[in-house]
Amino acid sequence: MTPQPLGQHFLGDAGWRARILDAVAPAADQVWVEIGAGGGEMTCELAGHVGRLIAIELDARMVERLRSATAGLDVEIVSGDVLALDLVKLAGPRFRVYGSLPYYITSPILRRLFDIIDHIEEIDVVIQLEVAERLAARPGNRDYGWLSVLAQYYTRPEILLRVPPGAFRPPPKVESALVRMRPPGEKARLAVEDEGRFLQFAAVCFTHKRKTLVNNLKARYGVEAVRQALVGMGLPERARAEEMKVEEIAGVFGRLQQGDGSASS
């Protein structure tokens, strides 16, 4: 089989499908949304274990294959783009998500899911290992960055399995991983008044990872204001974002917001 136009790689190895199913542990009282169902490789595995399964697939050619593979199974097939669909309307107020996400669209899909995280009980996705490591990285790790802060603000990311290229048809050129993300993340205990502004702020903090926070933020807030915010948080003046916990970045943000009338909500 040649790679699909949308960059999909399908879990062709039955042993790996069984391992992933065991890891995500679906139950009969749960509603699941599968993103990028493809030809139904994992759809068929999930269908016999969950209360309700909604399988989303964008590629019209794969939808026909998916319908054939799931004939006789209790699966709701939706042909469409997950970035444009109203998942809450489709699945209801509480559901779980599984997906084997194409590498080029992983971040936009995660952002979309984080936007409705209050309705999601758990996210289990197979993604590129490099991205998985960034999601789960802790401060001081070379993989820690804005994507880490984003994921950990909303959820608690955990790498469950490393999945080799040979598990897929066709094999990708990179290693993959199954990542579990369960809410709540740091958001639950942080008093962030404007989430959108905070996430934009965090992105600026990591603009140049090796530069100090003062250097990354001075154009917006001024050197002295950033220094005072760091000292007020008990952090060194030469602190870098890659060394700071999500709560520390949020704390600096809050202090700078208090002194910046144009940025206050």
Domain boundary among the residues 161, 187, 213 is at 187
Same domain, 169 and 210: no
Q: Helices marked H in 35-97 — which ranges? A: 41-47, 60-69, 87-91
Q: What is the mean pLDDT of residues 162-183?
A: 96
Domain boundary among the residues 141, 165, 187 is at 187
Q: What is the mean pLDDT of residues 31-46?
A: 97
Instruction: Tell me the C-alpha to C-alpha distance, in Å, between residue 56 and each of 99, 130, 195, 220.
Output: 9, 25, 29, 42
Question: Is residue 95 exposed (0-12), middle (13-18) or buried (19+ Cβ within 10 Å)?
Answer: buried
Is residue 77 over pLDDT 60? yes
Domain, as residue range, for 140: 10-187
Say if residues 119 and 90 touch (Cβ distance below 8 Å): no
Give me the percent of the chain exceeding a pLDDT of 90. 90
> What's the confidence (pLDDT) of residue 265?
31
The CATH number assigned to the domain holding 160 equals 3.40.50.150
Taking the C-alpha atoms of residue 247 and residue 152, their distance in angstroms, rounded to an integer, is 10
Greatest Cα-to-Cα distance within the chain, rounded to the nearest angstrom: 67
Instruction: Tell me the C-alpha to C-alpha distance, in Å, between residue 10 and each of 49, 67, 119, 127.
Output: 20, 16, 28, 12
Is residue 6 over pLDDT 80? no
Same domain, 42 and 163: yes
Residue 173 phi, psi dihedral angles, 5° rounding: -90, 0
- The DSSP letter of residue 28 is T
Which two tokens mark 119? 């309705």
Q: Give the pLDDT band of residue 7 (cuts 50, 70, 90).
A: low
Q: Look at the chain and report how many structural domains it folds into.
A: 2
Same domain, 68 and 19: yes
Q: Considering the domain boundaries, does residue 64 fall inside one?
A: yes
> What's the confidence (pLDDT) of residue 44?
97
Q: What is the mean pLDDT of residues 154-165?
A: 98
Is residue 243 over pLDDT 90? yes
Q: Give the pLDDT band of residue 1 (cuts 50, 70, 90).
A: very low
- Tell me the per-residue pLDDT of 91-128, one tens digit each, with 9 for 90 and over: 999 999 999 998 889 999 999 999 999 999 999 999 99
Is residue 190 over pLDDT 60? yes
The CATH number assigned to the domain holding 245 equals 1.10.8.100
Same domain, 76 and 169: yes
